Structure 1
Amino acid sequence: MTTERRTVLALSGAFLAGLAGCASDDGDDPTDDEPDSGDEPDDSAFDEYETDFPELDLVTDPGIESDLLAEQVRGNVAASLAVLEQLREETPDENLFFSPYSISVALAMTYAGARGETATEMAETLRYELEGDDLHAAFGALEHEFERRNEDGKTVETPEWAGEETDGTEDELGFQLSSANTVWPEDDYPFAEGYFDLLEAYYGAGKHLVDFSGSPEEARQEINEWVADRTNDRIEDLLPEGSIDSSTRLVLTNAVYFLAAWEHDFDPADTEPGTFTNLDGSETDLDLMYQSAELRYAEIDGHQLVELPYANGDTSMVVILPAAGEFESFEETFSVDRLGVMLEEIGRPKVDLTFPKFGIESEFSLVGTMQNLGMTRAFDNGSADFSGMVDGDSSGLAIDDIRHKSFIEVDEEGTEAAAATAVEMDEAAPPDHVEMTVDRPFLFYIRDRPTETPLFVGRVVDGESLQSE
């Protein structure tokens, strides 16, 4: 098996529109990208997938019915809006930017090892609409579909802002969206190899053994270097100092990097200083870009939506502008269904668009977010059940933290964005000092240790008769 696979994705507004039940401009079914052979999708790759993790080869072309795939992506969108709502409540006056895909993939890999009530809570919180074979097949199929769409994308001149990795020739693709997954297990911990085989097969996740118990800081730096390398150094120090210690047993990471030129550039000559009115009514001076072009656009009750396509032809930025003075009320009621209604109203008029240049960097822990959304057991060493990850007893294995870090920069020529997510799994360490005062009813037994045979068993509930005369 390969140790790492980078896949190309295309998380576009147009694709989300199709999954929300909206038709494209030409009336084609947006999920109708399957070959016209008339054959049913080949699900043979999953026939022998069971919870005990049989050996799996790398799934390069997952077979899953398009309606099942659309069902799960709709769940992914719903989960992203739920996370956005929760983060908004935590920091109502701050900008937010995150990658729901990165979070979803990292936690889907974690979910593969969850069992019992822990798995149930994770599935409900993360809006997993599918189970078992279908869920992991859906994530694998998404990556495959996006990779294929990228291969069919347009070849365009790469702009100067793309950096030193390109030479600006006409033959280069001004588009990159790459995703990489890796798991970092403690070297001598009894993880189930079948669990890692599943992650390799469906998520292309390579396995890098590290020594958390002996060299936690070295392991932290190695993980951070991996993330930085796969995000063009836009995401550095994903795991802050002290976040990894000797009790860490596993870290699961996803890194996403995006670079794309607009289909319709904003002319820098048209960029002018302007005023941006903040949520609290105060004003900020910043640069506002301008373009006039035929764009996908909708307006309902004063709420405007515009889709800005990227030059590869398969990705876009969807911008939603609530009516003046109604941002908070709109945001509170925003949902997948409401997005679908707006997208159904899309036309293609000529749009005079004024849009700010901006950059956002975000960094946060998602523990509180996920707990508030209903995922609690996964973080509790006493009740978390990740027995699917290990051979034998899970020994208190639980999620210690979910770290997410993201970056975006938007200017006249395009967009650069990156994000990474790390799920840290810790094992409850035995305490170095305890107190035990036997001053209430108790049970006891005397055993034969080699055979674990109980020789005598006692129950004490009355202390008055315990003392001998």
Structure 2
Amino acid sequence: MMMRAVVGLWVLSAVICVGRGHHHLGHDDDKAVQDTVVDGSANSVSLVNEANKEFSFRLYRQLAAHADSQGKNIFFSPASVSTALAALSVGAQGETHRQLFSGLGFNSSLLTQTDVDQAFQTFLQRANNTSQEDASEGTAVFVDKIFKLKPEFLQTLKQSYLADGFNVDFSQSTKSADTINKYVEEKTNGKIDQLVEDLDANTFMCLISYIYYKGKWATQFDPKLTKQDDFNVDENTKVSVDMMNLEDRLHTYHDRELNTTVLQLPFNSSYSMLLMLPDVMATLENAISPNHVTKWLKAMMRPRRHDVYIPKFSIRTSYKLNDVLTEMGMTDMFDGHADLGGIYEEDWFGLTVSKLVHKATLDVDETGAEAAASTAILIGRTSDLPGDVLKFNRPFMVIITERNTEKILFLGKIINPTI
């Protein structure tokens, strides 16, 4: 499906559904806490930001190596997943908390949970207070009427993760799923309409985080120049695509270490899409790191005239992240040993993350790019080349980033733009 004239990037993150008409819980401001955040350590924010960027590429490599990803496009929102897991860590304790911090790349000797919470509040406030683009980020918590959250947990979600709060009856699984999905659909302007499915009586809580961004290319492609052309999936496979064309002064960089040409396509905002065309895909995806992104953006000082060809495409991806995150060291929350005592007041034993699903979409056309992603964490009781012509007509990688902070909203690999 091709996108409308006004282009949008949507990310929806984190549904944490904890094992079994809705009512708004309220959303009070705490100015003292906000002032503390404003005056907080810039170093902590920087450490969390760097950890988030490192997590982006570690998660990408885990996804790329997974058997289910072989021969398929990869596209996901690391910002979505990290926000979800950071919000979950607020209520985690003991070894479960240690594994979440370690898996996210947070150094517990340098960062406390409060540091992490305040950093995410800074990120979310920055996204919501921007004046140059239409953007919003936040979270919500849906709680079963028999499940009592600890006041400290709810307070932190509201203050640091900008959470809305609602009561639902998870014994009415269809109705509660509809309530959650309606909220999500509204927050993502209709891009994500079926975030949660298959809820059962073991569900007690759903924690959702979302990201929304809308923008257009700074320099748009002329639709009259879009022509049918071949895209080389591999040595033996070609597919026909609508190839867009733009001739303009653009920022590019050739990374000799990775044998990769990088093109920056800025949106009409502080965000950009980086498209990376490697000689050998494995060389790029096995080595790429936040340092490479920093180097590329700094090296792109002088634009040069290029004749650029990029396929017009729409893709959808879906991942079950249980195994992937387990391989990254976050094991206890999946195997029945989850210590989530910081979330609930009563002694609820046997709670576990039963399923962690991530879905994403990306649409690219002449006016810009539209992306969406959602992460669902279900928690319940244990039941059982450089030059004048630059043509992206073979597999390439893509990043959508904020140029000033280098925050990575989306990351992926396009193997076949027609699937």
Q: TM-score, normalised by structure 1?
A: 0.70
CA shift, 1:105, in A, is: 1.2
Q: For 1:180 and 1:273, how far apart are their aligned partners in 2?
A: 40
Matched AA of 1:136 = D
1:315 and 2:293 equivalent?
no
1:271 and 2:226 equivalent?
yes
Q: Which residues of 2 match residues 228-267 of structure 1 at below 5 A?
A: 228-240=185-197, 242=198, 244-267=199-222
1:57 and 2:33 equivalent?
no
Judge conservation of contact 1:297–1:305 (CA < 8 Å) in 2.
Answer: yes
Q: CA RMSD in A?
A: 2.4
Matched AA of 1:399 = V
Structure 2 SS opposite 1:71: helix
Shift in alpha-carbon separation, 1:88–1:120, aligned structure 2, 3 A? same
**Structure 1 residue runs without a partner (length 5+):** 1-7, 12-54, 154-174, 432-469
CA shift, 1:248, in A, is: 0.9
Structure 2 SS opposite 1:208: strand
1:118 and 2:96 equivalent?
yes
Matched AA of 1:187 = K
Q: Corresponding residue for 1:445?
A: none
Query: Which has the larger displacement, 347-356 or 133-142?
Result: 347-356
CA shift, 1:60, in A, is: 5.2
Query: Which has the larger displacement, 390-399 or 215-224?
Result: 390-399
Q: For 2:323 and 2:208, how far apart are their aligned partners in 1?
A: 19
Matched AA of 1:304 = T
Judge conservation of contact 1:395–1:428 (CA < 8 Å) in 2.
Answer: no
Judge conservation of contact 1:238–1:403 (CA < 8 Å) in 2.
Answer: no
Q: Corresponding residue for 2:79?
A: 101
Q: Which residues of 2 match residues 15-414 of structure 1 at below 5 A?
A: 57=30, 62-63=37-38, 64-90=40-66, 91-129=69-107, 130-148=111-129, 150-151=130-131, 153=132, 175-212=133-170, 214-240=171-197, 242=198, 244-279=199-234, 281-301=236-256, 302-312=259-269, 314-323=270-279, 326-347=280-301, 348-381=303-336, 383-414=337-368
Task: Name the % identity.
Answer: 27
Judge conservation of contact 1:384–1:398 (CA < 8 Å) in 2.
Answer: yes
CA shift, 1:202, in A, is: 0.7
Q: For 2:73 and 2:205, how far apart are their aligned partners in 1?
A: 31
Matched AA of 2:323 = G
Matched AA of 1:203 = Y
Matched AA of 2:240 = D
Q: For 2:10 and 2:377, how far apart are their aligned partners in 1?
A: 24
Shift in alpha-carbon separation, 1:60–1:291, aligned structure 2, 3 A? farther
Judge conservation of contact 2:360–2:371 (CA < 8 Å) in 1.
Answer: yes
CA shift, 1:177, in A, is: 2.6
Judge conservation of contact 1:239–1:403 (CA < 8 Å) in 2.
Answer: no
Q: For 1:340 and 1:141, how far apart are their aligned partners in 2?
A: 21
Q: For 1:280 and 1:423, how far apart are their aligned partners in 2?
A: 39
Judge conservation of contact 1:187–1:211 (CA < 8 Å) in 2.
Answer: yes
Deviations 1:390-409 (A, max 9, x none): 12424222222222222221
CA shift, 1:412, in A, is: 0.4
Q: For 2:238 and 2:112, how far apart are their aligned partners in 1?
A: 48
Deviations 1:343-364 (A, max 9, x none): 3432322222111111111222
Q: For 1:311 and 1:82, how far apart are their aligned partners in 2?
A: 29
Query: Which has the larger displacement, 340-349 or 397-406?
Result: 340-349
Q: For 2:204 and 2:193, how far apart are their aligned partners in 1?
A: 22
Q: TM-score, normalised by structure 2?
A: 0.78
CA shift, 1:139, in A, is: 0.6
Shift in alpha-carbon separation, 1:280–1:250, aligned structure 2, 3 A? farther
Matched AA of 2:372 = A
Matched AA of 2:222 = D
Judge conservation of contact 2:128–2:137 (CA < 8 Å) in 1.
Answer: no
Q: For 2:368 and 2:293, how far apart are their aligned partners in 1?
A: 24
User: Relative to total residues, which structure has the larger strand share, 1 or 2?
Assistant: 2
**Structure 2 residue runs without a partner (length 5+):** 1-7, 12-27, 385-419
Q: For 1:404 and 1:179, how far apart are their aligned partners in 2?
A: 17
Judge conservation of contact 1:256–1:420 (CA < 8 Å) in 2.
Answer: no
Q: Corresponding residue for 1:420?
A: 374
Shift in alpha-carbon separation, 1:353–1:127, aligned structure 2, 3 A? same
Q: For 1:403 and 1:86, how far apart are their aligned partners in 2?
A: 15
Matched AA of 1:327 = M
Judge conservation of contact 1:181–1:206 (CA < 8 Å) in 2.
Answer: yes
Shift in alpha-carbon separation, 1:56–1:387, aligned structure 2, 3 A? farther
Deviations 1:130-161 (A, max 9, x none): 3222101111111222334x21x2xxxxxxxx
Judge conservation of contact 1:10–1:146 (CA < 8 Å) in 2.
Answer: no
Structure scoring higher RCO (CA < 8 A, sep ≥ 6) equals 2
Q: For 1:334 and 1:365, how far apart are their aligned partners in 2?
A: 23
